[in-house]
């Protein structure tokens, strides 16, 4: 009798292969099947037909049917048969238990996908967490859980001073540049978790409230360890009791920015967070896009025009032409990663963004980095705060 040869494909011709942890989802499931989970009838022999059924079902479910493997036959004789190397010690009960785990996983995963489609984020998160219990560390499920969590988060929140903070969703984005100074190289992909960031820079009004706290309680609870107990001066240079109140506060040190953020139960954004908030996910050069367009002149930037469109994809204002901004932890992966250190061993900090005093278009780029001593006070430099969502 002639038995057709069996073949298994990774998916349909027009489908895109799903990647999981650096390799294909099809490969992941194929290896699982060959390890014994594809032995559907538990006889110690995995035929190509069994393997095809196993892989098709698992890949289809885990990809939310975006990738659907096919299996069939070619004319010819024989069938591919796979024998487990540990056939003598094959534990049928263990295989059945594993198969039951897979069934439970798929039940909760499919229920979660249906809940996601219907925007039932709470239910989706619960079902995904159930699925993860049957397959710990599954990167697809973990990514879906993050999505559900982000959808449950408010897109905007306010701090106790009433300042608006916008949610920046976690995930991959482009950081750095290959065509500018060495401090910005290389251009690369990086991932950050979800976070909130101030929609505008900290204002004179905001900072005035902080100074009231410092005068009343001192800095013992908020001072950075490098200046704690040293009678640090938190007053900005040329401080006029907060006038004008609506303007961004400038002329403050990194230490002062750090203390202010801690006072509000917030923190300075990391360098990577700052760039994602300014740049979005499409690798744009400026917060508003790839080009300067009509604000481009032969003499100097028209700050009024630039300021009107200085809004990032996440509706964050003033990241190009407001004030330069202190940030927290430096991003990794730069060719020039070592920061300067002064004679006392104090490490310089990173300053991001341009200002309304910039006289070069280069200063408005999202990837621009500068370094400064943490006690530097410049009339061009202020800051904004960030906050973790949980």
Predicted confidence (pLDDT) per residue in 56-115, tens digit? 888 887 777 778 887 665 454 444 555 544 544 556 777 788 888 888 988 898 898 888
Tokens matching residue 144:
């879906």
User: Within 13 A of 106's CA, how many CA atoms are on the CB side?
Assistant: 16
Would you state the pLDDT for residue 51?
82
User: Within 13 A of 224's CA, how many CA atoms are on the CB side?
Assistant: 20
Helices (H), the chain: 25-32, 48-62, 92-117, 121-134, 139-152, 204-217, 254-263, 271-279, 303-308
204 close to 260: Cβ distance less than 8 angstroms: no
Whole-number Å distance between alpha carbons of 390 and 382: 26
pLDDT tens for 255-276 read 999 999 999 999 999 999 999 9
Would you state the pLDDT for residue 20?
65
Whole-number Å distance between alpha carbons of 318 and 310: 6
Q: Higher pLDDT residue, 59 or 213?
A: 213
Would you state the pLDDT for residue 73?
55
- Reply yes or no on whether the pLDDT at 2 is more than 60: no
146 close to 159: Cβ distance less than 8 angstroms: no
Nearest partner of 314 among 275, 257, 268, judged by Cα:
275
- Reply yes or no on whether the pLDDT at 299 is more than 50: no
**Which residue do the tokens 């106790």 mark?**
160
Tokens matching residue 164:
């608006």
3-state DSSP helix/strand/coil percent for the chain, to nearest 5? 35, 15, 50
Q: What percent of the chain has pLDDT over 70?
A: 89
Q: Higher pLDDT residue, 141 or 237?
A: 237
What three-state secondary structure class fits 243?
coil
pLDDT tens for 179-200 read 888 899 999 999 898 899 999 9
Confidence (pTM)? 0.70
134 close to 108: Cβ distance less than 8 angstroms: yes
Nearest partner of 196 among 266, 283, 287, judged by Cα:
266
Would you state the pLDDT for residue 168?
93
Whole-number Å distance between alpha carbons of 253 and 320: 20
Whole-number Å distance between alpha carbons of 288 and 112: 36
For residue 262, what are the contacts with CB-CB under 8 A and spacing of at least 6? 221, 222
Q: List every span in the chain annotated with CATH 3.90.1580.10.
A: 157-387
Q: Within 10 Å of residue 262's Cβ, how many Cβ atoms?
A: 17
**CATH (one of 2.30.130.10, 1.25.40.10, 3.90.1580.10, 3.40.462.20) for 157-387:** 3.90.1580.10
342 close to 376: Cβ distance less than 8 angstroms: no
pLDDT tens for 322-349 read 999 999 999 999 988 889 999 999 999 9
Over range 342-366, report the average pLDDT. Answer: 91
The rounded mean pLDDT for the chain is 85
- Reply yes or no on whether the pLDDT at 201 is more than 60: yes
């Amino acid at each position: 009798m002639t038995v057709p040869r069996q073949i298994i494909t990774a998916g349909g011709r027009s489908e895109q292969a799903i990647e999981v942890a650096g390799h294909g989802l099809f490969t992941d499931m194929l290896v699982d099947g060959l390890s014994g989970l594809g032995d559907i009838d538990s006889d110690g022999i995995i035929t190509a037909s069994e393997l095809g059924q196993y892989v098709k079902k698992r890949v289809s479910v885990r990809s939310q049917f975006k990738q659907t493997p096919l299996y069939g036959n070619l004319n010819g004789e024989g069938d591919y048969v796979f024998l487990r190397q540990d056939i003598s010690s094959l534990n049928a009960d263990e295989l059945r238990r594993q198969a039951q785990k897979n069934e439970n996983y798929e039940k909760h995963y499919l229920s979660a996908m249906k809940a996601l489609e219907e925007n039932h984020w709470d239910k989706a998160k619960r079902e995904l967490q159930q699925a993860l219990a049957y397959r710990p560390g599954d990167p697809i499920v973990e990514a879906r859980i993050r999505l559900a969590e982000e959808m449950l988060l408010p897109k905007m929140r306010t701090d106790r001073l009433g300042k608006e903070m916008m949610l920046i969703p976690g995930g991959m984005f482009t950081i750095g540049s290959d065509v500018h100074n060495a401090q910005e190289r290389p251009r690369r992909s990086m991932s950050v978790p979800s976070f909130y960031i101030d929609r505008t820079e900290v204002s004179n009004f905001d900072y005035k409230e902080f100074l009231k706290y410092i005068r009343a309680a001192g800095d013992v609870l908020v001072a950075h360890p490098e200046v704690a107990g040293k009678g640090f001066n938190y007053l900005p240079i040329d401080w006029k009791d907060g006038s004008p109140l609506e303007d961004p506060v400038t002329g403050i040190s990194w230490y002062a920015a750090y203390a202010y953020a801690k006072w509000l139960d917030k923190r300075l954004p990391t360098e990577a967070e700052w760039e994602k908030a300014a740049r979005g996910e499409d690798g744009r050069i400026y917060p508003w896009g790839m080009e300067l367009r009509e604000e481009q002149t032969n003499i100097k930037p028209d700050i009024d025009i630039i300021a009107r469109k200085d809004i990032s994809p996440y509706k964050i204002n003033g990241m190009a032409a407001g004030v330069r901004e202190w940030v927290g932890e430096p991003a990794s992966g730069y060719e020039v990663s070592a920061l300067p250190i002064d004679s006392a061993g104090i490490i310089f900090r990173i300053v991001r963004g341009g200002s309304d005093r910039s006289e070069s278009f280069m200063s408005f780029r999202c990837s621009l980095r500068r370094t400064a001593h943490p006690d530097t006070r410049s009339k061009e430099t202020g800051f904004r705060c960030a906050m973790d969502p949980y």
